[in-house]
Copies of this chain bind each other. A is one copy, B any other.
Amino acid sequence: MSINFRSDNETPVADAIWRALERANQGTAWAYAEDRWSERLDDAFSRLFETDTRVLPVATGTVANSIALASVSPPWGTVFCHRSAHIFCDESGAPEFFGNGLRLVPVDGADGKLQPDALEQAIRASEGHGVHSYVPAALSVTQSTESGTVYTAGEIGALCKVAANRSLATHMDGARFANAVAALDCHPADLTWRAGVEMLSFGASKNGCMAAEALLFFGHSELLETAERMRKRSGHLLSKMRYVSAQLLAYIEDGLWLQMAAHANAQAHSFAEAMMRHEEACLAFTPGANEVFVRWSAEGLAGLHDKGVQFHLWPGHDDLARFVFGHSTSAEETQALIDAFDG
């Protein structure tokens, strides 16, 4: 047996997305995002988010995040994020590269979540003395978080309010945005622009697509030109962008994105419930979406590996493991995982 709970970015492409790719693969199409799929993105996302939205399709979340932050921060600007944020821990300095040396300021917070007070304090501590210091420039919030938790709309609003009071731009890293929306059963606008988020890295690759992300600008269309320049200059303007855009259109059509996310969340939920009943293992965080973090003995976790369960240990810890559930995770696989804990 071998079942893979390492990451949702290891799942295959969903059938509906695949068929959309096939449909896009007919004849020629103009290159460099001048195709008829790419040209529909602004409208489609504006409808989805119920506000004027400009869309920059790209192939990875890292470039979406990096362009977003570099669009709003000068090289001498600071970007505040949670200490566990992907932009801080896992992008090898891409934001710093695109932002020509901007600085990320990690802020601690339980359950992978920023707290308004801690954010306020971090910003104040970063306000310096004129040209000698970096200038607070932006906030980046991850939804769902790197701990598998989710922010409520109210929590996001509170963070964005702190940012707005200090004239910081606001960005959301939504690599798993779909899972958060599905979990909270709310409107995507409520978690973003209505709560004060100005830019969203709207992830799709982890939830059924092949390589498709969208950087969304809510009502800040003046940033788009710079963002397009950065996309090109960083080698991210795919000539055959139609395939990225076709994925994105199919993804948000008829609620597919939320159905897939809800499925993944449900699997995670089943597993989490089993863990709550487990005699030894326990949940490290309250799971809010499609990731479940479990504390168990090193021996117990190692035993799972022996049984063919693939997953990641938390860096530097042999008794803390992450299990990620995807659109393609079957109920049988989830049950097999639960069984592996018990047997």
Selecting from A88-96, A155-163, A177-185, A273-281, the interface stretch reads A88-96
29 CB < 8 A contacts A-B: A6-B30, A10-B29, A27-B328, A32-B132, A58-B235, A60-B235, A60-B239, A62-B237, A74-B226, A76-B233, A89-B132, A89-B133, A91-B132, A91-B233, A91-B235, A92-B131, A92-B132, A92-B134, A92-B229, A92-B232, A94-B235, A97-B100, A99-B101, A100-B100, A100-B101, A103-B104, A129-B315, A131-B232, A211-B240
Q: Is A13 an interface residue, CB under 8 A from the partner?
A: yes
Chain B residues contacting A30 (CB-CB under 8 Å) are 6, 10
Shortest Cβ gap from A82 to chain B (Å)? 15
Q: How far is the CB of A226 from chain B (nearest CB, A)?
A: 8
Q: How far is the CB of A43 from the nearest CB of chain B, in Å? A: 21
In the complex, A305 has a CB within 8 A of chain B? no
B-facing residues in A6-31 (Cβ within 8 Å): 6-7, 9-13, 18, 22, 25-31
B96 x A101 contact (CB < 8 A): yes
A125 lies within 8 A of chain B by Cβ: yes
Whether the Cβ atoms of A92 and B76 lie closer than 8 Å is: yes
User: Would A7 and B31 be within 8 Å (CB), given that A234-B234, A237-B131 are in contact?
Assistant: yes
Contacts of A66 in B (CB 8 A): 235
Q: A101 to chain B: which residues have CB within 8 Å?
A: 93, 96-97, 99-101
Contact of A59 among B6, B28, B211 (CB under 8 A): B211
Contacts of A243 in B (CB 8 A): 13, 210-211
Q: Please determine whether A233 and B93 come into contact, CB atoms closer than 8 angstroms.
A: yes
Q: How far is the CA of A243 from the CA of B59 in the complex (A)?
A: 12
A190 at the interface (CB under 8 A from B): no
Other A-B pairs beyond A9-B31, A75-B100, A94-B235, 14, CB < 8 Å: A10-B31, A11-B28, A59-B59, A59-B211, A75-B97, A75-B233, A91-B132, A92-B132, A92-B134, A131-B237, A211-B211, A211-B239, A211-B243, A234-B234
Given A94-B232, A96-B103, A101-B101, A240–B131 Cβ distance below 8 Å? no
Q: Is the CB of B239 within 8 A of A206?
A: yes
The answer on a CB contact under 8 Å between A134 and B93 is: yes
Residues of B within 8 A of A206 (CB): 239
Residues of B close to A316: CB separation below 8 A? 124-125
CA distance A27 to B134 in the complex (A): 31
A9 to chain B, nearest CB (A): 4
Point out the residues of chain B lying under 8 angstroms from A99, CB to CB. Answer: 101
A4 within 8 A of B: yes
